[in-house]
Amino acid sequence: MSINNKEALLNKQAEVQKVIDSYTCRVLVCSGTGCIASGSQKIYDEMVKLCKDIEGVKIEMQKDVPHVGVIKTGCQGLCELGPLMRIEPYDYQYVHVQIEDCKEIVEKTVLRGEPVERLFYKHNDEICQHPDDIPFLKLQTRIVLENCGKIDAESIDEYIAVGGYQALAKAFFEMTPQDVIDEVTKSGLRGRGGAGFPAGRKWSQVARQKVKERYVVCNGDEGDPGAFMDGSVMEGDPYKMIEGMTLAAYAVGAENGYIYVRAEYPMSVKRLRMAMEQAEAYGLLGDNILGSGVNFHLHINRGAGAFVCGEGSALTASIEGNRGMPRVKPPRTVEKGLWEKPTVLNNVETYANVPKIILQGADWFRTIGTEGSPGTKTFSLTGSIENTGLIEVPMGTTLRHIIYDIGGGLKSGAAFKGVQIGGPSGGCLVEEHLDQILDFDSVKKFDAIMGSGGLVVMDENTCMVEVARFFMSFTQRESCGKCVPCREGTKRMLEILERIVAGKGEMSDLDELQELATMVRSMALCGLGKSAPLPVISTLKRFRDEYEEHIRDKKCRSKVCTALRKFHINPEFCKGCGKCAKNCPAGAITGKVKSPYTINNDLCIKCGACKDNCNFDAVYVEL
Amino acid sequence: MLDQSYYKKADEVIEHYGRRAASLIPIMQDIQAEYRYLPGELLTYVASQIGVTEAKAYSVATFYENFSFEPKGKYIIKVCDGTACHVRKSMPVKEAMLKELGLSHKKHTTDDMLFTIETVSCLGACGLAPTCTVNDEVHPKMTPEKAIELLDGLRGESA
């Protein structure tokens, strides 16, 4: 059935809404990657099974029978507390739902509307019945994620019910392509992939090109370790992003589009495919969309495990079937992108912002966020934090608000040390930045980048030198090898960092590290290379004392660097059993049976076998 | 020599994506999904069929981390070492698995072709770090102990 004009879309919306309203009760099972990992698929199956067995109740739509709907939604946000479940119309939010709970949920909540108290989240001993009672969710502003977790992620009908595709209808029938570009420009929307280039300017540059064949490409190659926002959008509300891409295609006059999704996101690929098929069947994608004469065909390409493909020119090279290596710019992607044609390339979150801007207007959008960076930003909040999960807050929110008010502070009350923003290409922010507002421009001043929005919180037990080494080993491995500064520079920096964490560093290493970092930062070919030294630059600046301790005192204050640990045996606890000496691969432990043993730290290889094997907890690590 | 069935499968995949240079990566992905690795002979065959040189096909296949010319085990376990998993101690999980299976950082697949252990940069389930996947199914909040239990369970499954 095709929806071929605006009226048909509104009729469809009314029809679907009526169906949804006729449900007596709807069970929303979170099916984001996190909750699926916690076993939510089994919960979904069980709920479907139980609800089917209720007498006089149907889960499929039929007239005049009480209905219970069991649906799969995208990420509901609180990944750590999964599997998650919401129940409408009561708006109950259940956490940590187990198979054994399902029967009680059906009997109490589904049939009688009563809550199952023990499944509610408790915040400081207060029971949170509804999603908005939970500070983690209440304190967010959801635009991109507004439907994520609330609608069936596999049903275009539900997207239409909440106003989906009305932005498209408005654009097609009330606005010219130029109007669409103007509105996006006026909104101040900046690319959410990291660099923050104004989306409207990019679109108008493509629209201006003489070549008529153009492409719209979506960067869903969210490769930053510790970031899963775009994946959650693709999984939880794929329709919104597709509508955004269709709007972009209309604005710049493109008839073909590509979504490049990272290989590690099979669920995103599945949901996007499903969404595209449904949209095509409804005539909302393909030829003659909404009967307007506009054509837009969408294709999916899966990544194959190369971080550098998140860079624009590498991404288009990969779609063309080549090695994903960046090229020298100019010409830029807007002039010569995919197949040498003008190309709009934005990321998932950027496109997902567009429908709402078209529908509610640029002025509305500018009321959110900061002057220079309007709108919201999604972040994935992970690491040593009480509530890990997916969040969306206005641009300009402080880190303190994100970490302490929304995230609930550090895990087990540990002391805050730093937060890595922007993944391996980003920087490390510390205590003094907690109260600074966070937007594209401010973050740059702190030697970091917004990146796509991964926030990894680190506590006192994290060694910053080791973290710098970790990021460098990542970028070094992912360096494509095309330009010398990145290929050689990252390798040399990694060698130095490896030396330092192994306790073999010298003070001159720090200057060399700084010099290399500055060189790569200014001379690498692409954004990946240019930003690769940022973790080193920011940790050198803010944790220089830790670097020096590693080199001078051979000491790792976080006790992370195994090579710098010193093992000792506490003579008071040691029973002289000799088990440690037997297990020591280096022959570093000596002693007489039944009297305390000792470790020779010159021979010790710091493997920890003695500590693991001691039955009396007599082996300890010196700070 | 590969069995004729491999070439038949390749033909199907090539037909699906079309004989174009741009189809190279999706074709290789589907072949790898079928056989859990990319047989070298098939890559040569695909190249000739879609009109790219063997050298080009090889250069692309070796560029991307996901392609492997080595056969992999029945269970491909990817231990996530993304930032979030790393700071929540993912490497001890991998070490425990390697030790249990007698594997190393050079040898990834067990001789009985049951297990392949790899590291992956981020699986996108950071909220539940540290994680690993077994043939794309995510296992949350891993510990070295849980890792051994997981291996035991998989052994039982295939026995």
**Contacts for A320-325: CB closer than 8 Å, 24+ residues apart:** A320/B21, A320/B22, A321/B20, A321/B21, A321/B22, A321/B23, A321/B24, A321/B25, A321/B52, A321/B60, A322/B60, A323/A480, A323/B59, A323/B60, A323/B63, A324/A480, A324/B63, A324/B64, A325/A480, A325/A481, A325/A482, A325/B63
Distance from CA of A314 to the nearest CA of B (A): 12
**Burial of A612: CB neighbours in 10 Å, binned 0-12, 13-18, 19+:** exposed
Which residues, including other chains, have CB under 8 Å from residue A491's CB and lie 6 or more apart?
Answer: A476, A479
Pairing of strands A454-459, A416-421: antiparallel
Q: Which of A554, A572, A553 is nearest to A563 (CA)?
A: A554
A311-350 b/e with 16+ CB inside 10 Å = b?
A: bbbbbbbbbbbbbbbbeeeeeebbbbbbeebbbbbbbbbb
| Cross-chain Cβ contact A456/B84 below 8 Å | yes
Candidates A348, A380, A382, A458, partner chain B, best to mutate (most B CBs within 10 A): A382
State how far the alpha carbon of A39 is from the alpha carbons of A140, A217, B79, B140, in Å.
26, 34, 19, 10
Which residues, including other chains, have CB under 8 Å from residue A331's CB and lie 6 or more apart?
Answer: none
Average pLDDT value over all residues in chain A: 93
Residue A64 has pLDDT above 80, yes or no: no
Q: Which of B65, B120, B140 sits opposite A37 (nearest CB)?
A: B140
Task: Using a CB–CB cutoff of 8 Å, tell me whether A226 touches chain B.
Answer: yes
Distance from CA of B82 to the nearest CA of A (A): 4
Structure tokens at A424: 């391996």
Q: Which of A317, A372, A577 is nearest to B22 (CA)?
A: A317
Spatial distance between the Cα atoms of B57 and A619, rounded to a whole number of angstroms: 55
Provide, as residue numbers in chain A, all residues whose Cβ is less than 8 Å from the Cβ of B140. Answer: 34, 37-38
Q: What is the value of ipTM here, to two decimals? A: 0.91
Interface size A-B, in CB pairs within 8 Å, comes to: 140
Task: Using a CB–CB cutoff of 8 Å, tell me whether A305 touches chain B.
Answer: yes
Asked if A88 and A130 touch (Cβ cutoff 8 Å), the reply is no
Q: Is A38 helix (H, G, I), strand (E, B) or coil?
A: coil
Spatial distance between the Cα atoms of A410 and B62, rounded to a whole number of angstroms: 42
Taking only Cα atoms into account, the Rg of chain B, rounded to an integer number of angstroms, comes to 18
Q: Which residue in chain A is spatially nearest to B25 when comparing CA positions?
A: A321
Asked if B83 and A423 touch (Cβ cutoff 8 Å), the reply is yes
Candidates B128, B137, B139, partner chain A, best to mutate (most A CBs within 10 A): B128
Spatial distance between the Cα atoms of A325 and A308, rounded to a whole number of angstroms: 7
Spatial distance between the Cα atoms of A566 and A554, rounded to a whole number of angstroms: 10
| Cross-chain Cβ contact B83/A302 below 8 Å | no
Asked if B131 and B154 touch (Cβ cutoff 8 Å), the reply is no
Read out DSSP for A247-279? HHHHHHT-SEEEEEE-TT-HHHHHHHHHHHHHH
Spatial distance between the Cα atoms of B42 and B21, rounded to a whole number of angstroms: 16
| Cross-chain Cβ contact A228/B126 below 8 Å | yes
Spatial distance between the Cα atoms of B118 and A145, rounded to a whole number of angstroms: 33
Q: How confident is the model at residue A194 (pLDDT cuts 50, 70, 90)?
A: confident
Residue A62 has pLDDT above 60, yes or no: no
Asked if B146 and A407 touch (Cβ cutoff 8 Å), the reply is no
Q: Which of B50, B53, B27, B31 is nearest to A301 (CA)?
A: B27
Which residues, including other chains, have CB under 8 Å from residue A322's CB and lie 6 or more apart?
Answer: B60
Asked if A410 and A385 touch (Cβ cutoff 8 Å), the reply is yes
Task: Using a CB–CB cutoff of 8 Å, tell me whether A88 touches chain B.
Answer: no
Structure tokens at A273: 């495919």
Overall size of chain A counted in residues: 623
Which residues, including other chains, have CB under 8 Å from residue A206's CB and lie 6 or more apart?
Answer: A214, A252, A254, A334, A342, A343, A344
Q: Which residue in chain A is spatially nearest to B90 when comparing CA positions?
A: A383
Residue A65 has pLDDT above 70, yes or no: no
Structure tokens at A216: 């719209």
Query: What's the whole-model pTM score?
Result: 0.92
| Cross-chain Cβ contact B128/A423 below 8 Å | no
Spatial distance between the Cα atoms of B117 and B72, rounded to a whole number of angstroms: 9
Q: How confident is the model at residue A145 (pLDDT cuts 50, 70, 90)?
A: very high
Alpha helices by DSSP H, A64-155: 102-104, 111-112, 135-138
A373, A379, A382, A387 alpha-carbon torsion, rounded to 10°: 110
pLDDT of residue A622: 78
Q: pLDDT tens digits, residue range A435-487?
A: 999 999 999 899 888 887 889 999 999 999 999 999 999 999 999 999 999 99
What is the distance in angstroms between the CA of the first residue and the CA of the last residue of chain A? 70
**What's the rounded mean pLDDT across residues A15-37?**
90
Task: Using a CB–CB cutoff of 8 Å, tell me whether A224 touches chain B.
Answer: yes
Task: Using a CB–CB cutoff of 8 Å, tell me whether A81 touches chain B.
Answer: no
The total of other beta-carbon atoms located within 10 Å of residue A100's CB is 8
Per-residue pLDDT of chain B (159 residues), as tens digits, is 789 999 999 999 999 999 999 999 999 999 999 999 999 999 999 999 999 999 999 999 999 999 999 999 999 999 998 888 888 889 999 999 999 999 998 899 999 999 999 998 888 788 888 999 999 888 999 999 999 999 999 999 877
| Cross-chain Cβ contact B125/A383 below 8 Å | no
Q: Which of A554, A556, A531, A530 is nearest to A543 (CA)?
A: A556
Q: How confident is the model at residue A565 (pLDDT cuts 50, 70, 90)?
A: confident
Q: Which of B124, B51, B36, B56 is nearest to A322 (CA)?
A: B56
Q: How confident is the model at residue A33 (pLDDT cuts 50, 70, 90)?
A: confident
Asked if B44 and B61 touch (Cβ cutoff 8 Å), the reply is no
Residue A132 has pLDDT above 70, yes or no: yes
Asked if A495 and A466 touch (Cβ cutoff 8 Å), the reply is no
| E strand intervals along A425-581 | 427-429, 454-459, 566-569
Ramachandran class of A290: left when φ > 0, alpha when ψ lies in -120 to 50, beta otherwise: left
Provide, as residue numbers in chain B, all residues whose Cβ is less than 8 Å from the Cβ of A224. Answer: 83, 122
User: Cα B61 to the chain's mean position, in Å?
Assistant: 13
What is the distance in angstroms between the CA of the first residue and the CA of the last residue of chain B? 30
Asked if A212 and A256 touch (Cβ cutoff 8 Å), the reply is no
